[in-house]
A and B are shown apart, each in its own frame.
Chain A
Amino acid sequence: MSLLLSLLLTVQPQRTVSVSAKDPAPHISVGIAENAVTSFLLYAEPTKAELLLDGRKEDVPIHKNTVHIVAKKAKIGAKGVLTAFMPGGQKLVIEAIMTKFDLADGYITVVVVDERGG
């Protein structure tokens, strides 16, 4: 129990990721874990989102501006790619890497900034 509790306290919390408005396909890398959900609050509602994992591509349900990756059982280090098609033609390429529970991202806010960071 104490081991699990210590793991829990080191779970990566919510964080914010900035992408450039001028980059047609900005790349984001996140950690996912078995039994963990990683949610993305995007700057706009995507028109479509799909997840490529274990060689299979599947649509990801969209809840307003939010999409979620619910990781399946996979080896640590396995990679998946979530692609969110944004209005305006921008494609968010979100690389998801299987990791330990305590290294997984829980909630990520994606914001757009220009190249000067404003």
Chain B
Amino acid sequence: MIMVFLLALLAAADVKPAPARNYKIDDASRGKTLELRVATGVVTSVHFPSPVLVEDVVCGNPGAFVIKPTLANTQLNFGPQPSVGKSFATNCNVPLSTGLTVTIGIIASATPDTFVDVLVELKTPPTPAPVKTTIDESAVEERVFKVEKQCQDEHEQVLVDKAAQAIVMRHINERAIHDFVILAVLDHVKIGSRGLLRFSVENHTRVPWAAGAVRVSFYVPGKDVKVIETKAGFTKPIAGVAEEIFGAVSFEMIDLPADAKFSLEVLERNGSRHPKVDGFRL
């Protein structure tokens, strides 16, 4: 319908319509002025890539035009007023909803034998479609599992490497008895600079034996006995009748002489049965 109307107008005015023109609106086109050739009696349509803020359109010669928005404000139809009666040049600033302002320089002709723009289309370059990313949850879980496994393996490898360098273990198996309470120093483990002694207490009496403090000391021939500061722990605090419990004691080994002989004494809590293993080496 519009095209029929336009063709009728063109025939009446005897003007030569220019082919429809396309302009691209992008960052590179900022700062450039769009040229528009219009003529009395011809409607020239400019199609914009986004809605025009029609109320903010300002033209240098507003009385010379009839500007009608169509197509949801994405198109402006420019129609020069016949009453102007002469050719003139003007410009319009057309703000778009995107924030871009299009400056249109307009040449309006009153003479019929001229080229006229009928349709000018402004386009924005197509934006590439966003790539859809689908998440395969099973693959993610598998990947997470692999990463966790890899971390565990690496962690364990580091642990093993350090253990090979730092851990020293030796069976001692020295025993002593005091009032039918048998103390056995079983193993010595050295992790880094820290030493551990593992021992057991067997109660072969008819009275339960309660674990108290653990005293570790060493001596070097010709020197005084020195007591080592320790921390001790037991699997059970009390060894019942004919029962064996296990304990361990840890201490710092940095300052201990290599030729020292050690003694380990386990004191009975509230009692006098203190078995002591003496004279063992680490």
Residues of A in contact with B, size category: 20 to 34
A13 interfacial by beta-carbon distance below 8 Å: yes
Q: Mark B77-110, 1 if CB is under 8 A from A, else 0.
A: 0000000000111111101000001010101010
The listed residue (A35, A41, A64, A71) touching B88 by CB distance below 8 A is: A35
Contact status A37-B58, CB under 8 Å: yes
From A1, A15, A39, A101, contact of B58 by CB (8 A):
A39
The proximity string for B residues 56-82 relative to A, scoring 1 for CB distances below 8 Å and 0 otherwise, is 101111101000000000000000000
- Is A39 within 8 A of B105, CB to CB? no
Given known A37-B91, A66-B95, contact A1–B31 (CB-CB < 8 A): no
**What does DSSP make chain B's interface, helix, strand, loop or mixed?**
strand
Give CA–CA (A107, B29) in the complex, Å: 14
Q: Among the interface residues A37, A41, A64, A101, which one has the most CB atoms of the partner chain B within 10 A?
A: A37
Q: Is B146 an interface residue (CB 8 A)?
A: no
Interface residues of B in 27-58 (CB under 8 A from A): 30-33, 35, 37, 56, 58
Chain B residues in 8 Å Cβ range of A36: 60, 90-91
**Is there contact, CB below 8 Å, between A106 and B89?**
no
B64 — nearest CB in chain A belongs to which residue?
A35
Q: How far is the CB of B102 from chain A (nearest CB, A)?
A: 9
Other-chain residue from B31, B92, B107 in contact with A13 (beta carbon distance below 8 A): B31
**With A14-B30, A41-B101, A107-B101 as given contacts, are A1 and B109 in contact (CB-CB < 8 Å)?**
yes
State how many angstroms separate the Cβ of A103 from the closest Cβ of chain B. Answer: 12
Cα A37 to Cα B92 in complex, Å, equals 7
Question: In the assembled complex, which residues on chain A have CB atoms less than 8 Å from the CB atom of B90?
Answer: 35-37
B89 pairs with A14, CB closer than 8 A = no
CA distance A11 to B92 in the complex (A): 12
**Quick check: is B111 within 8 A (CB to CB) of the other chain?**
yes
* Known interface pairs A41-B101, A63-B56, A106-B103; A4-B89 also in contact (CB < 8 Å): yes
CB neighbours (8 Å) of B35 from chain A are 5, 8-9
Are B33 and A68 within 8 A (Cβ)?
no
Give A84 Cβ to nearest chain B Cβ, in Å. 16
Contact of B33 among A4, A5, A106 (CB under 8 A): A106
Does any Cβ of A come within 8 Å of B114's Cβ?
yes
Contact B114 A37 (CB under 8 A): no
- In the complex, the answer to whether A11 meets B91 with C-beta atoms within 8 Å is yes
Shortest beta-carbon distance from A71 to chain B in Å? 7
Task: Determine the residue in chain B with the shortest Cβ distance to A13.
Answer: B33
* Chain B hits for A63, CB < 8 A: 56
In the assembled complex, how far is the CB of residue B238 from the closest CB belonging to chain A, in whole angstroms?
79
Q: Which residues on B sit within 8 Å (CB–CB) of A68?
A: 58, 93
A39 adjacent to B33 (CB under 8 Å): no
Bound together, the chains give a CA A4 to CA B56 distance in angstroms of 27
* Contact across chains for B111 and A1 when beta carbons are under 8 A apart: yes
When the two chains form the complex, which single residue of B33, B87, B93 contacts A1, counting CB atoms closer than 8 Å? B87
The 16 sampled A-B contact pairs (Cβ below 8 Å) are A1-B114, A7-B89, A11-B33, A13-B31, A13-B103, A14-B30, A14-B31, A33-B60, A35-B61, A35-B88, A35-B90, A37-B59, A37-B91, A68-B58, A107-B93, A107-B103
Q: Residues of A with Cβ closer than 8 Å to B?
A: 1, 4-5, 7-9, 11, 13-16, 33-37, 39, 41, 63-64, 66, 68, 70-71, 101, 104, 106-107
Known: A11-B91, A37-B60, A106-B91. 20 other contacts (CB 8 A): A1-B87, A5-B35, A8-B107, A14-B30, A14-B33, A14-B103, A16-B31, A35-B60, A35-B64, A36-B90, A36-B91, A37-B92, A37-B93, A41-B101, A63-B56, A70-B60, A71-B60, A106-B93, A106-B103, A107-B101
A-B residue pairs, 3 tightest by C-beta: A36-B60, A37-B60, A35-B61
